[in-house]
Each structure stands twice: as C-alpha cells, then as structure tokens.
Structure 1
Amino acid sequence: MSSITSPDVPEISWFSALCDDDYEFLGVPDPALASSWEHCRDIVQTADRGGFDNVLLPSGYQLGIDSTAFAAAIATHTEHINLLLAVRMGEMWLPQLARQLASIDQFAGGRLCINIISSDMPGEALDSAPRYQRTREWMQTLRKLLNREAVDLHGDFVDLTVEPPRAATVDGSCPPMYFGGFSPAAKDVAAAEADVFLTWPDTVSSVADTVTEMNTLARERYDREVLCGLRAHVIVRETEAEARAAAERLVSRLDPETGDAIRNKSLDAASVGVSRQADLRASSADDGFVEEALWTGVGRARSGAGAAIVGDPDQVVAKLRAYQDAGVSAFILSGYTHQAECDLVARHVLPAIEHAPIKPRFTSDL
C-alpha cells in the first residue's frame, strides 16, 4: 500500500472561501465577501505571497463557485503555493475526473493536492456504510488512474475497465489525498486509502488520541502510514486582549436562529464529526474557551470546523506546537475575514514555525 513518510516539519496551509464562508461579522453576509473569482483569487494570492505551503479550495453545491473550475484558473495565477482541491466522490465520471486533475496539476506546475469529500450529493442520501464504500472504490480507482495504471474494478459503485488518460500529472503519480471523517467507516477508509487524515479542532489531548487511533488503524489493518492534519480557525493579534476582543466582535451580530440555519445548510450537518464539534462547544466555559487558546464561538455558525486558536503570536505558535507534539503533520488554517487574517498569520505566526509542504512544490513556468 502507498503512504507518505512523516515529515520533520509540519505543512501549514490556508483556506479560500469558495463556499460563501467569509464574514466580517459571522452570520451577516456581505456582498463584497461573497464567493467570486476576484475575491477567492485575492485570498489565494495573499496566501501565496505570505509563504503558506498549501491552500484548501473547498467544494459546495448550493454555495459559492465551483472548486475544480477555480483550481484550473488559479493555477496560472500563483507561483509557489500548493492547491488542495476538494473533490466530492461520486460526482463525476471517474476517467474524466482523473483527466481534469492531471491537467490542473500540469497547469500548476505539479502543485496539485486532492481533498476527498464523502458527503451526500444534492438530492440523494446514502447510509454511512455504502457512502464510504463508494468513497473507498473511487479513491482506489482515482489513485490508479493518476498513477498511470489500468483499472479493472467491478465493485459496488465502480464498474470500470479502462486505461489511464494520456494526460498525466507532472511527476506521473497521484497527488497526495487528504481525507476526513469520524465514523468508524470513514476512519477505516482513511486508514486504507488516504495520505493525510484530517481532523477538526479539539483539545490537544483529544487530537492526540485521534492521531494514535489513526496510526494504529493504518499500521495494524493495512500495514501503512497515514499522516494526520488539523483544520482550525485562527484569530491572532499583537496582544491576547486584542485577539479575544476580535473573537467577540466576530460573533457580536449573530443570533441563534441564523447560526442554526447556516449550520444546517451543509450536506454533512448531521455527521459524527459535526456532533463532536457541538459537544465541544457545549463543554466550553461561559467565554467560549474550552482550554487555553481554543475558542468554540466560531461553531455557533459553522457545521464543520467549529473552533479557533485565539491569542497573541506566542500563544498561537505554542498551540500549534502543542498539536504538532501530539502528532499533527499538517495544519489547514483560516480566519475572518480570510484575506486579512491570512496576512496577520503570515506576519505573526509563520516566521516562528519551520514548515514545508508535504508535496514538493514546483514553480510553474506559465
């Protein structure tokens, strides 16, 4: 089984708000911050200039613009940053998807990574077990095609005999696959097929438990290694008081009904992972902090990653290092507004932490 060797330093990535997830005040839409080519391009280019290793390009259906089309376009407007493109399993004919991904990797000069999405597609609902079986078969098939291997798979969801497309990635191999999910079926698929297992923000001890669990599953069931990544928000300011004030300002215009409506828009709003984020929020103190520098207020209006690392630069760096010591090899960070917070993290946090992309970057000549 293929796997990526654990890096000596973590990868630190940013997030582009392709799914209409950008606010000055959480839950209060601003047309200037709505998902668009111009707005999302500016976020990615800010992250590229700021020295981030990678950037997540999320996928939605009802919300925002298309992630695959955006990735193809932004590939030629960036120089160094990797592009972590979210792809929903089951959404497209597999050989065509492989050809698209290989082409985008060429446009980016070899800087493509893949974020595997396993949530239901619009208009359908599958139980957890068959949905993750579909994800498993799609990941296996996609990896073979991008590794330039013929496919002859006749499973529950993939019935395909086909040669790989002529279009190939720059290095002729499948880009790293990032994947998250918290049900037993999801974790088993990740242990078997993913290169990076993504978890949402939690206490340091809980994240350490997840890393141990995933390492054990991958090693004992599949004789392979899987890296672990953490998706979290960040609010960093020059002082702790300023950071906490920024956090309170972010949710100052949010009412409970609006928060519920935003959370319920997501296709994974009832997942195990989302339930854990709700439990974390419920266990926090009156100020929303569940432990040092970990604030759960963001989860009042998000179905997914529902907590933020909040503090001055030293506190944020210390928190990231604590997660790294717990076994985290990759961070996907974000903040509100996404472009402004990206610049703050680039100035106050990145210089204090040695970091590097999991996938070596190639500078595009385009």
Structure 2
Amino acid sequence: MSPPHPSHILYQNPSQTLTLIDIPHSIEQAQFASSPCSNPTDNLQPRTRKLISCVPLAIPYPSLEPKSQKAIKNLPEKDIDDLLLERYVELSLAELKEAYGGQKWCLPRVIGEEEKAVGGMGIRKRKRVVGDERGREDQNLGDTAGIDVGECIQVHTSPPPPPAELDISDPTIFSNPDSTPLSISISKHDSPTGTATLPPHSTLLHGPLPQTLTLLPSPPPHFPLILLDPPWPNRSARRHASYQTTPDMQTLLSSLPLQDLLSPNGYIAVWLTNKPAFRSLVLDPGGIFDQWGVRIVEEWIWIKVTENGEPVTEVEGRWRRPGEEVGEEVKRRVIAGVPDVHSRKPNLRYLFEQLLGEGMEGYIGMEIFARNLTAGWWGVGDEVLKFQMDGCWVDGDADGNADFDVDREL
C-alpha cells in the first residue's frame, strides 16, 4: 500500500499523471520536512502558520477571443500539436471532474486586505477563524488523505530567542542548519525591512544572478533536482524587470553553470510560458537544455482552474501551443490548481519526490529564481524572500485555523 499523499494534494490518479494541488497549502507544507514528524511531547505544542492568499477565482476570466469574422479569418490555423494538446487538456479535466466530484477545487484560504479588495469581496461581518467550509469529512477519496502540516510543526513554549540578523545589501548566503524554523531580521543598507522565518535545513542565496552563484562553496553541492522559474519577459514585466527581452534571458540562462550542480541522472525543471520563442530558446537544438547537457524527458502541463473546476480561459481558444513538437517518448502529466496571488506557483517538492523514485524522501533540491524557501532546499535569486517574509503569513492554532481577523462575505 502506497503512503498517503500530503493534504495539499487534493487528488491524484493512480498513474500519477493527473494531480489537483492547493497552492497556498503546498507552500505551507513545504516549510517543513517531507517525512512525518514525531508526536509532540509534554513541553511542545503544535503550531501552524497560514499563508495569506487571495480570493479563489469563482468564474473564468472574460474571453479575449476575436469575435468578428475578419479577425477570426486572420488567425493562423491550428496545427496538429495544438489540437492534440487541446484534446489532452480537455480529457484530463473531464477525468478530474469525474473523480473529484462537485467539491471546491481548493482549500479554504486566509484572505489579505489588498487581495480581498481586488477580488471584490463583500464585507458583512468580521470572522476570526477561517475553517474548512467544504465538509471534507464526507470525501470518499481515502488515497488523498494525508498528514497535515499541523501535525508536524512543533515549537517550545518558552520565549523564542531574538532573531538572527541578515543584511541583504550585497549578495549573501545564509543557512538554517537546525531542524526547527529560524526567525531572522532582514535589513538593507542599514535599514530594517522586516522579519522572515526560514524553514529547517534551508539555505538562501540572495542577490542577482549569475553573480550570486559565486557564493556557492567549493566544490559546490550537487542536486538531484534543480527547478527554475525564470522571469520571462512580458508586457507588464518590462516596466520593472531587469531582463526585458528574450536575448537578455538567453544570456542569463546560458551563464548558469547548472551542469556543474546537477547530480548524475538528475533532473532540471523549467517553468515555461505559452510563448513559442521561449520554448524554442530552451528546447531547440543548441538551446539552453543542450548547453546544460540535458534532454527533455517529461512535460508537465499546468492548468489554472476556478474553485468549481472550470478552466480560467477557454481550452479551445486560439492560444498557441509553445513551438517545438514533443517526441513520443516524452511523458506528459497534468497539474491543476486554483490560481493564487500573482507570480506564486505551487510548491512541487512532493511531485518531484515521486519523479525521483523510492528512497529519495527528504532529497535536497535547488530552486533558482525562487520566491520562497523550501525545507531542506537551496533557494537562489533576488526575490528568494518575497513570500518568506512574516508579513505574508499569519499564525494558526493546532488545527490550522488562522488567528487573524479576516473579512469574508457570509
């Protein structure tokens, strides 16, 4: 019998090719070791922290598809790869709907004030505890029930020690060597910027790439899994991002010495957008994968859905599938989830653990262009503390209920 999934995995089929994931809870659980913790002792009390999120999307985004016959006529024809991918996504969503039923496709969330305003949430009454409103006790999916993060978090009842201090004015490396979370006080140019809590056995390299990688010890560690979420150029990013064009990104990715950091038979995973130029940059002959000495073996398709399981945009719309054809030997998997705040991706530590195979529990990974930290991992980039700051979190009780005044429409 296979071990139970962690509770941020709301559903996974037996072949592990279709997964429904809860984004905020995946990050919450990634703050702690992947293996179950020991039971609390008399002088320890379980404690959780909840990640502040946004209002779950209730309906799909308005359609941006062309309406006039002239505009439709000017669209390029879909090729066979577009049609096959479209059909694959449709079948995957149909399978997920049949298996998961009419439940909400995300867990209850702690909603921040700014996100609440953006979501257009009505204010009727103040509510202190955010509980599970879906009644998951009647869920007949035994293989998805798992160890909740609340069971694994332990803190001493004695007053916590003063936080360590970290200055991020210049590129820096900092580790939490302990098996418990570590509070640190962050400053920049002698001005305090807040506090952050680092997961157990995590290491951060804060600063711009590729310069920050020069802080790695010599010889450098080797990782069985390296994950990248590059800041691909787009209209909104161009107003403030350092890498404004595709050539800029090509230069940056080419400068990363990942071949020196990857373990034998290790994996590199890269988040890609739907723009053909980016896929070509990574996968074409002579592209980034060739430079890193790796080849594509799997393609994971990330599908954003509403809380009721509808795709946020039209599956049959005229969006273009990113460029190059994927060979028959490449395995596909689908991951679905309700979108979280902007630029926040699900934590895939558990899914990568399944990919790596038996005996890889507690593996050490590296995330480049990270926006938060993962227990036991190395996180690299100038936004590595973005969602790690304590202002992004609220305290909860032993059951995971948030000790936080949250406005909800009741």
Identify the TM-score tier after normalising by the shorter chain: 0.3 to 0.5
Quick one: higher RCO (CA 8 Å, sep 6+), 1 or 2? 2
Larger Rg: 2
TM-score, normalising length: structure 1: 0.33
